[in-house]
Amino acid sequence: MLDLTPKTLADRKALRINPCKTCQPVGALYAALGVHRCMPHSHGSQGCVSYHRTFLTRHFKEPAIAASSSFTEGASVFGGGANLRAAVKNIFDVYDPDIIAVHTTCLSETIGDDLNAYILEMDIPDDKLVVHANTPSYVGSHVTGYANMVAGFIRYLADPRAPKGDRIAVFPGFVNPGDIRELKHLLARMGKDFIMFPDQCGVMDAPMKGVYEMYPDGGTPIDDVRALGGCRHVYALGHAASEEPADVLDKKCRVPNTVLPLPVGVAATDAFVMAVAAGGAVPEDIEDERGRLLDLMLDVNPHLHERKLAIFGDPDTVAGLTAFALELGMHPKFVITGTPGEAFVHRTEDILAGYGVGDCTVKAASDLFELHQMVKNHPVDLLVGSSYGKQIAKAEDIPFVRLGFPILDRYAHSYMPMVGYRGAMRIVELLAGAIMDRYDRDCADEDLEAVM
């Protein structure tokens, strides 16, 4: 399919080809699904929400609910206030959520709808809530939208007068329910009293019970979002996804924070564990998990050492995977994200410099056409990223590991962690499996051995 991609790189100023990002609202929708009994609401045309629900369903294999203001020609001229009022009333009447989380779209942003004013003037039932976030589709990416929606909840709900206690909060970043479960496991082993926010566990990996629950048993309870204001400290994971919400919470409620990279690999997981332990002891079974990971990394070293790889996807995920690849002795050659922002480039280059790797191309606001051209010119041993990499992998015959978002052509990924020591073990299994499968596929018959 990609045999038209030319090897010669030429300047492109206007044309985006095969993007490595999508628009803010889908991230906002995903964030809102991480709050208990929340109905995400898209303030725009009805097609937006249909695409976003489909997109999330394709990744998570779960129902993804959200309502829409269903803009008409009239709304696009006179503003969407009436649509939003009607929508909020209908949603509470029919679907009965506890909270509606409205995000904007390119359309409602461009016509200048003032959501603050709309929501202030609205009749909202006493025991119900409506919050919003501005998520213009022409700024940033889905990761930006996620961060904005998380910040939006905090702006509306986090209570500066919440009693200060010993609880901590963790912002998990734009990750799968499997990752959040792994974070919870680490926190529970360390005996921490914590608020996970947002928390898509139970919502985007709801168990099959023979009933459909529009609001399954999961998501951060609204009271916990309020109680964020009283937390002792916030650990915000992933700069792109969690730094902004942590800042907003600090400004509003004076809750100090530590922004950490996503805990992918040894050092980043260490950093998370040590930060959360805050000088206290780390339980032995977590030390053991770490020890098992190191054991595995040594075992697999001969197969991964100095292997060249290209990594693409969302900034926090890609930065984490790059760091772990370096820890495994691998050699990242191309590291790209579609999300704009040079901070990602600087942070990733610092990580690479720490391992003395100076010949890796790191780019933000890139796309998969460009990545394809890069690997055409400088072949790699492994490609790591979302399902959209499969065409490149096939065209260039590169082993391919699916990690990140979205994964549309495989199963079980959303239940499995990438973070923590056990998540790292899973990554090793995937990386080494791909490379060793390739060896077995390509080697001469006499070299094919049961023992490797």
Partner 1 sequence: MYAQILEERRQSIGTGGDVGRTRSIRCETASVSGAVSQRACVYCGARVVLNPITDAFHLVHGPIGCASYTWDIRGSLSSGSELYRNSFSTDLQERDVIFGGAEKLARAIDEAVERYRPPLIFVYCTCIVGVIGDDVDAVCRSAEARHGVRVIPVKAPGFSGSKSTGYRLACEALMKLLEGHEWDGEREGVNILGDYNLAGEMWIIVGYMRRLGIPVAATFTGDASFERLLRAPRARLNVVQCAGSMMYLANLMEETFGIPWVKASFFGLEDTSTALRQVADLVGDDEIRRRAREFTEERSRETAKLVGPYHGRLAGKRAAIFVGGGFKAISLVRQFREMGMETVLVGTQTGKADEYEVLGRLVGPDTVILDDANPAELERFLVERGADILVGGVKERPLAYKLGIAFCDHNHERKHALAGYEGVENFTREVASSILSPVWRHARG
Site residues (CB under 8 A) for partner 1, limited to 97-126: 105-107, 110-111
Q: Name the residue nearer to partner 1 (CB basis): 41 or 192.
A: 41
Alpha-carbon distance of 199 to 221, in angstroms, equals 9
Name the minimum Å distance from CB 105 to partner 1.
7
Both tokens of 306, joined, read 């100095």
Determine if 165 is a binding residue for partner 1 (CB under 8 A). no
Pair 377, 424: CB distance under 8 Å = no
Among 209, 358, 444, 450, binds partner 1 (CB under 8 A): 209
- Give the nearest distance from C-beta 230 to partner 1 in angstroms: 34
94: contact with partner 1 by CB under 8 A: yes
By CB under 8 A, residue 15 contacts partner 1: yes
Pairing of strands 257-260, 233-237: parallel
Long-range Cβ contacts of 245-251 (<8 Å, 24+ apart): 245/147, 245/150, 245/151, 245/154, 245/171, 246/171, 247/151, 248/151, 248/154, 248/155, 249/154, 249/158, 249/169
Selected from 71, 197, 400, 421, the binder of partner 1 by CB under 8 A is 71
Q: Give the x/- contact pattern for partner 1 in 20-59, rule: CB under 8 A.
A: -xxx-xx------------x-x--xxxxxxxxxxxx-xx-
Residue 316 CA to residue 322 CA, distance in Å, equals 10
Give the nearer residue to partner 1 in terms of CB position, either 144 or 322: 144
204/246 with CB nearer partner 1: 204
Rounded least distance, CB 51 to partner 1, Å: 4
With contact defined as beta carbons under 8 Å apart, do 194 and 187 qualify?
A: yes
- Residue whose CB is less far from partner 1, 66 or 183: 66
| Among the residue ranges 82-90, 232-240, 257-265, 427-435, the one whose residues contact partner 1 (CB under 8 A) | 82-90
Q: How many residues bind partner 1 (CB under 8 A)?
A: 83
Residues 268-307 binding partner 1 (CB under 8 A) are: none
Closest to partner 1 by CB, 72 or 361: 72
67, 41 contact by CB (below 8 A):
yes
Q: Which residue lies nearer to partner 1 by CB, 45 or 337?
A: 45
SS3 (DSSP) at 133: strand
Q: Are the beta carbons of 45 and 68 closer than 8 angstroms? A: yes
Instruction: Considering only the stretches 28-36, 134-142, 270-278, 411-419, report the one whose residues sit in contact with partner 1 under the rule CB under 8 A.
Output: 134-142
366 part of the interface to partner 1, by CB under 8 A? no
Site for partner 1 in 333-362 (CB under 8 A): 338
Whole-angstrom distance, CA of residue 274 vs CA of residue 297 = 21
Question: Which CB, 76 or 258, lies closer to partner 1?
Answer: 76
> Token pair for residue 134?
């501005």
Cα 76 from chain centroid (whole Å): 31
Residue 95 found at the interface with partner 1 (CB under 8 A)? yes
At 329 the three-state DSSP class reads coil
CA 422 to chain CA mean position, Å: 18
Question: Please, are residues 305 and 330 in contact by the beta-carbon 8 Å criterion?
Answer: yes
Residue 145 and residue 25 in contact, taking contact as beta carbons nearer than 8 Å? yes
Looking at the Cβ atoms of 77 and 281, the one nearer to partner 1 is 77
Q: Is 96 in the site for partner 1 (CB under 8 A)?
A: yes
Q: Which two structure tokens, joined as six digits, stand for 123?
A: 């009749």
Whose tokens are 């995400």? That residue is 40
Is residue 409 part of the contact set for partner 1 (CB under 8 A)?
no
Which residue number, 109 or 316, has a Cβ lying nearer to partner 1?
A: 109
H or E segment at 107?
helix 106-110
**Amino acid identity, position 440:** D
User: With CB under 8 A as the contact rule, which of the stretches 91-99, 169-177, 242-250, 411-419 interacts with partner 1?
Assistant: 91-99
**Closer CB to partner 1, residue 201 or residue 351?**
201
Q: How far is CA 92 from CA 124, 126, 183, in A?
A: 9, 11, 33
Single out the segment in contact with partner 1 by CB under 8 A; choices: 175-183, 204-212, 219-227, 291-299: 204-212
Q: Which is nearer to partner 1, 64 or 297 (CB)?
A: 64
Nearest distance in Å: CB 402, partner 1:
16
Residue from 9, 78, 90, 251 binding partner 1 (CB under 8 A): 90
Q: Is 260 in the site for partner 1 (CB under 8 A)?
A: no
Q: What is the largest CA-CA distance in the chain?
A: 77
Task: Please count the residues of the chain.
Answer: 452
Binding track, positions 376-395, relative to partner 1; x by CB under 8 A: ------------x-------
Using the minimum distance from each CB to partner 1, give the nearer residue, 58 or 292. 58
Give the bridge partners for 67, in sequence order.
41
Binding partner 1 by CB under 8 A: which of 37, 98, 128, 139? 139
